[in-house]
Amino acid sequence: MLEIAVHQFAESLKGADYAHTTIRDYCDNVKDLLRYLANEEYLSDIKDIREEHLRSYQLYLKDKLHKGRKLSRKTIRTKLGALRCFFKQMLEANHLRVALEPCIRLPKTQEPILHNLPTVDEVCELLDSIDTETVLGSRDRTMLEILYATGMRSLELRTLTLDSIDLTENVVRVNGKGRKFRVVPLGEWVIPFVRDYLEHYRHEIAGNSPLLFPSKNGRMITKANLGDLIKKYADKVNVTKRITPHTFRHCCATHLLDSGADLRMIQRLLGHADIKSTQRYLNTLTNHLQVAHLKYHPRQERC
């Protein structure tokens, strides 16, 4: 019954158009719970699960070690979030006697303050270092310009298709988390790179692929590949700060905010469902303000 429940859960997520990686991770988290209940509570049917079993499992997660370290609050929250989704679906399918979703309380987490982000000059130096006279150079420059201009996520960038780009309106249609689409501006400075790449280079690697930025073999660029090429260009210009695809997202938001952009605009650009996710960038702005205040306020020099 437990394995059937996991299979049914996976099918329901597929029907709701969840991403493959999300389905895999959610099911792995459910399997972890069910293994615990089978081994520690001797349960073999989800209908027998009660609130005290879930409390016991949550205590187990707090003490669980992974590679010698306890799980972070964020990891525990992610695992429990998957379980809430599972129990909600099981209740709707009449596989539970009582609602168990409300029994799972998600631990509060605080978004870490972003430190040591690349400056505008460092990002621009990295982008300007890319040779656009080659196929992969043109692709990479266009790709990273779009990443910095829009702040989109790695997967959002890698899954863009030709149909995603509208050069008449200078916008890109992004397939975000939970299959939520949003339309964001490209930025006028990006358009020449896009046009040059599409007209002169993309056909040499795309084949029949609909992807806007395929690999040299015509397949989707992997997350690791994208990270490696960013590191290559960062090393080329001696940027010692850690730069990943997600760093470009942080830089886009932070640099916009530093320049006076509205927080709500940045929320829409990044595709955040909750403004609280965007407000984390205010912490970075506050840090910059404190440093500038100490450096430039005339009273500081006299004390």
pLDDT in tens, 9-64: 998 888 887 888 889 999 999 999 999 988 988 888 888 888 899 999 998 998 88
Q: Which residue has the tokens 């792995």?
A: 28
Query: Cβ–Cβ contacts within 10 Å for residue 274, how many?
Result: 8
Q: Which of 177, 231, 280, 288 is catalytic?
A: 177
- Among 46-50, 169-173, 263-267, 293-297, the minimum mean pLDDT is found in 293-297
Query: How many alpha carbons lie under 13 Å from residue 84 in its C-beta half-sphere?
Result: 13
Instruction: Give the closest residue to 284 by CA, choosing from 263, 298, 269.
Output: 263
Catalytic residue among 7, 62, 180, 246: 246
Quote the pLDDT of residue 142: 97
Structural Rg of the chain based on CA atoms: 23
Based on the residue annotation, tell me whether 36 is a catalytic residue of this protein: no
106 contacts 78 by C-beta, under 8 angstroms: no
pTM, to two decimals: 0.65
**Domains assigned to the chain:** 2-103 (1.10.150.130), 120-295 (1.10.443.10)
Alpha-carbon dihedral angle through residues 66, 71, 77, 82, given to the nearest 10 degrees: 10
Active site residue 179: no
Is 272 known to be catalytic?
yes
- For the segment 148-168, the average pLDDT, to the nearest whole number, is 92
The larger pLDDT score, comparing residue 301 to residue 92, is at 92
Q: What's the token pair of residue 157? A: 């960038």
Work out the burial of residue 140: count CB atoms within 10 Å of its CB; fewer than 13 is exposed, 13-18 middle, 19 or more buried.
buried
One-character DSSP codes across 236-266: HTT--S---HHHHHHHHHHHHHHTT--HHHH
| pLDDT at position 200 over 60 | yes
Do the beta carbons of residue 9 and residue 89 sit within 8 Å? yes
Question: What pLDDT does residue 134 have?
Answer: 95
- Residue 149 tokens, joined: 């201009």
Structure tokens at 258: 């530093």
Instruction: Tell me how many degrees the CA angle 77-43-16 measures, rounded to the nearest 5.
Output: 50
Q: Which of 53, 153, 158, 202 is catalytic?
A: 153
Q: Could you tell me if 181 and 161 are in contact, meaning their C-beta atoms sit under 8 angstroms apart?
A: no
163-168 contacts at long range (C-beta below 8 A, 24 or more positions apart)? 163/210, 164/212, 165/194, 165/212, 167/191, 167/194, 167/195
Give me the pLDDT at residue 233, please. 95
Q: What percent of the chain has pLDDT over 90?
A: 40
Pick the catalytic residue from 53, 141, 202, 249: 249
pLDDT at 185: 87
Mean pLDDT of the chain: 85
Which of the given ranges, 148-157, 189-198, 235-244, has the highest pLDDT on average?
Answer: 189-198
DSSP state of 271: T
Given 18, 26, 201, 281, which residue is catalytic? 281
User: Would you state the pLDDT for residue 292?
Assistant: 52
Least confident of 43-57, 67-81, 286-300: 286-300
* Amino acid occupying residue 188: E
- Count of residues for the chain? 303
Whole-number Å distance between alpha carbons of 174 and 166: 11
Using one digit for the tens of pLDDT, what is the confidence trace for 216-241? 999 999 999 999 999 999 999 998 88
User: Does the annotation mark 197 as catalytic?
Assistant: no
Provide the 3-class DSSP secondary structure of residue 185: strand
Please list the residues that pair with 182 across neighbouring strands: 174
* Interval 92-140: pLDDT, tens: 888 888 888 888 888 876 655 566 788 899 999 999 999 999 999 999 9
Mark whether 246 is an active-site residue.
yes
Mapping DSSP to helix (H, G, I), strand (E, B) and coil, where does residue 244 land?
coil
Distance CA 9, CA 90 (A): 8
CA distance 29 to 58: 12
Place of tokens 């964020």: 74
